[in-house]
Structure 1
Amino acid sequence: MKKKDEARDVYDAVADPTRRELINILAKVEELPLYELTDQFQMGRTAVSKHLAILKDAGIVISRKVGRETRYRLNAEPLQEIQDWVTYYTKFWNEKKLLLEKLLEEEDKMPTVSLDFQFTSSIERVWLALTDSKMLAKWVMENDFKPVVGHKFQFRTEPNKFWDGIVNSEVLVVDQPTKLSYTWETGGENTMVTWTLKEVEGTTHMHLEQTGFENEGNEYNGAKLGWVKMGKQLEKLLAKQ
């Protein structure tokens, strides 16, 4: 029980910024009298004395009398408790960081469908084609899409012997009129589709990224060819407007 109390005292002692500054000051010198310490703060001698008393109770500061003067010096040994605690969690977060870096490296190695399209239509018109269910049906598939984050929907087309014709999706990002993202689950693949729009000098640039493919297999190649075909259908659709 005593050990827990001492640990608590050390953490309490260093929790205050004034006391941390006192530690910093004393770490640079052998010892200092109270009046010299007080001169370095915008507070009275009594307030500084109270902070020093807390540090003394935690064993972080030691005082001694020299005549009528009290001088203070740092005893860093109790701070080892904090150092050990920080070291433990530094190791913990370093391990998590390495795991994250590994996951990101693996993700970078995963194939991505990346395509760019350009249209003379306004960005608002292209955005509408991406988010209006009836317009989507004319160049992608029949759907019950709504541009609402969290909305779950399906793209549907005629099935064949290789595919049931259904794509299950959920809206992830809606940032009108520049970014739209949703999941794309079909054919055993769970991927994510992201559309990014920008308008430059009367031309709307549309970028597509579909991420999450395990390899450059049939699903990946089918998706890439499919989006190229649908992009051409969108171009024709916008030209009619």
Structure 2
Amino acid sequence: MNDIPTDTRTVVVEREIAHRPEKIWRALTQPHLIQEWLMKNDFSPVVGHRFKLRGDWGGVLDCEVLIVDPNTTLSYTWNFTHDDPAFDLQSVVTFTLEPIRIGTRLRVEQAGFRPDQKRALGGAKAGWRDFFEKLEQILPQVD
């Protein structure tokens, strides 16, 4: 088994969104909405629930819900196993929702990138920005 280094890297992406935290929370926790902006899934907002995220690129992420604090914090593992161990990723994704005057400050933090995973770190930075763009596009249709 690989030892997980303690000197891991973290990606943080923040965005101010002109919708209330309750609406964004629904988009973060309802499977049919998660599929619209992130990936196909069998998510349930229950601590300990194990689920999979399935990318259009064919990859599957193994996840487990760690924190569910409605309209405030959602956290889950984001683990990817690859044929080449250099591409394996054991990480944790945490969403934080903060009410602000115009709506919500949404922050995502993905922690756990090894120092040798610079490409994955860069990909996550770009990926979360793209995911947030898609999230903002679907929010007007969320009840």
Runs (4+) off by over 3 Å: none
Alignment match, 1:158: 56
Answer whether contact 2:17 2:103 (CA < 8 A) is retained: yes
Is 1:213 paired with 2:107? no
CA distance in 2, matches of 1:126, 1:138: 13
Runs of at least 5 residues in structure 1 that lack an aligned partner in the other structure: 1-105
Q: Structure 2 CA distance, aligned partners of 1:234 and 1:226?
A: 12
> Take 1:211 and 1:227, find their aligned partners in 2: how far apart are those partners?
13
Counterparts of 1:202 and 1:117 in 2: how far apart (Å)?
A: 12
* Structure exhibiting the larger radius of gyration computed from Cα positions: 1
Task: Tell me which amino acid in the other structure corresponds to 1:143.
Answer: N
User: Partner of 2:79 in structure 1?
Assistant: 185
8 Å contact kept, 2:39–2:56: no
| Distance of 1:201 and 1:228 partners within structure 2 | 22
Partners in 1 of 2:56 and 2:134 — Cα distance? 18
- Selected match of 2:9 from 81, 96, 111: 111
Work out which structure has the larger RCO, using CA pairs closer than 8 Å and 6 or more positions apart in sequence: 2
Matches within 5 A, 1:213-232: 213-215=113-115, 216-232=117-133
Query: Helix, strand or coil: the match of 2:113?
Result: coil
1:19 is matched with none
Paired residue type of 2:32: K
Q: TM-score, normalised by structure 1?
A: 0.52
CA distance in 2, matches of 1:158, 1:196: 26
Runs of 5+ consecutive residues of structure 2 not aligned to the other structure: 81-86
Q: 8 Å contact 2:72–2:96 — kept in the other structure?
A: yes
Question: In 1, Cα distance between the equivalents of 2:133 and 2:16?
Answer: 10
TM-score, normalization by structure 2:
0.85
Q: CA deviation at 1:240?
A: 4.0
Count of aligned pairs = 132
Q: Which has more helix, going by share of residues?
A: 1
CA RMSD in angstroms comes to: 1.7
Which has a greater percent of strand?
2
Report the identity percentage.
37
Corresponding residue number in structure 2 for 1:238: 139
